[in-house]
Amino acid sequence: MDPEEFVQALKKLGIKLNDHQLAQFDLYYHLLIKANQTVNLTTITSKPDVYLKHFYDSITPARFIEGLRHHSLSICDVGAGAGFPSLPLKIAFPQLKVTIIDSLNKRINFLRDLVHRLDLKNVKLYHARAEDFGSRRSHHREQYDLVIARAVARLNVLSEFCLPLARIGGEFVAMKSVNAPEELDQSRYAIDQLGGKVINDHTFKLPVSGDIRRIIVIRKQKRTPKKYPRKAGTPNRRPLLNTK
């Protein structure tokens, strides 16, 4: 997908980018590739692949969540890595208020420079573990309209990272691929325990490549019990499962 194909593909979704936004995506690409020489940010480096599998893919939640397009939602991106999906969403929809957390300080340093160079406003960056960021002592707990994550962990683990950060009535959006049905089945107990309910499960294919994508939308219906998230590392070692 070259930049023109990127523009046309987004137009089909009803998303139009202006020249300034296109220049931001172009600069994003060049800064990403330059930084990737010294910091492990992505294995996807060709321009067509970055535009398709990072930029376009990151914007796809706006196909299904209308608020991303029109409202000043507060978004927390858990484990954003090189800024995906929140920064492409921020470029496409500048009114969004974005918070990014990542456990690797080198990535946060890259993102800090990137946000500055792209002149993005209302973007906050935190070097933190998700378990600490959403703990009962954190002022970030249950504060966000939308919590989003892409390619971070299995859904039962990811739910424990993300649902504690969503406000009641807010949503957790998990961006997944072909293994999503199995993950979702294994995660229903965890989602319920953490105060969530699956309200939508969208499957589609990326243009050009035909890669399968799954966007699972989970609404926060009740407060997350104070014991969650558990200590850093525990969700990965002992995922929440229904053992009955």
What pLDDT is attached to residue 171? 98
pLDDT in tens, 113-147: 999 999 999 999 999 999 999 999 999 999 999 99
Confidence of residue 151 (pLDDT cuts 50, 70, 90): confident
Is 136 among the annotated ligand-binding positions? Answer: no
Q: Give the separation between CA 82 and CA 61, rounded to whole angstroms.
A: 18
> How confident is the prediction for the chain on average, in pLDDT?
95
**Per-residue pLDDT at 183:** 86
79 is in an annotated binding site: yes
Residue 177 has pLDDT above 70, yes or no: yes
Round to whole Å and give the CA distance between 70 and 93.
8
204 assigned binding-site residue: no
Query: What percentage of the chain carries pLDDT values higher than 70?
Result: 99
* Location of structure tokens 């390619």: 151
First to last CA, the chain: 48
Domains and CATH numbers, the chain: 3-225 (3.40.50.150)
Distance separating alpha carbons of residues 190 and 241, to the nearest angstrom: 6
Q: What is the average per-residue pLDDT within 83-98?
A: 98
Query: For 192-217, how does the pLDDT look when each residue is reduced to its tens digit (9 = 90+)?
Result: 999 999 999 999 999 999 999 999 99
Q: Are 68 and 91 in contact (CB under 8 A)?
A: no
Exposure class string for 114-132: b at 16+ Cβ within 10 A, else e: bbeebebeebebebbbbbb
196 marked as binding residue: no
Q: Residue 169's pLDDT is what? A: 98
**What is the Cα–Cα distance from 14 to 8, expressed in whole angstroms?**
10
The whole-model pTM stands at 0.96
Q: Is the pLDDT assigned to residue 244 strictly greater than 90?
A: no
Q: Which value, in Å, is the radius of gyration of the alpha carbons in the chain?
A: 17
84 is in an annotated binding site: yes
Contact 149, 216 (CB under 8 A): no
Which pLDDT score is estimated for 140?
A: 97
pLDDT of residue 187 exceeding 70 = yes
Mean pLDDT of 143-153: 92
| Average pLDDT over every residue of 19-41 | 97
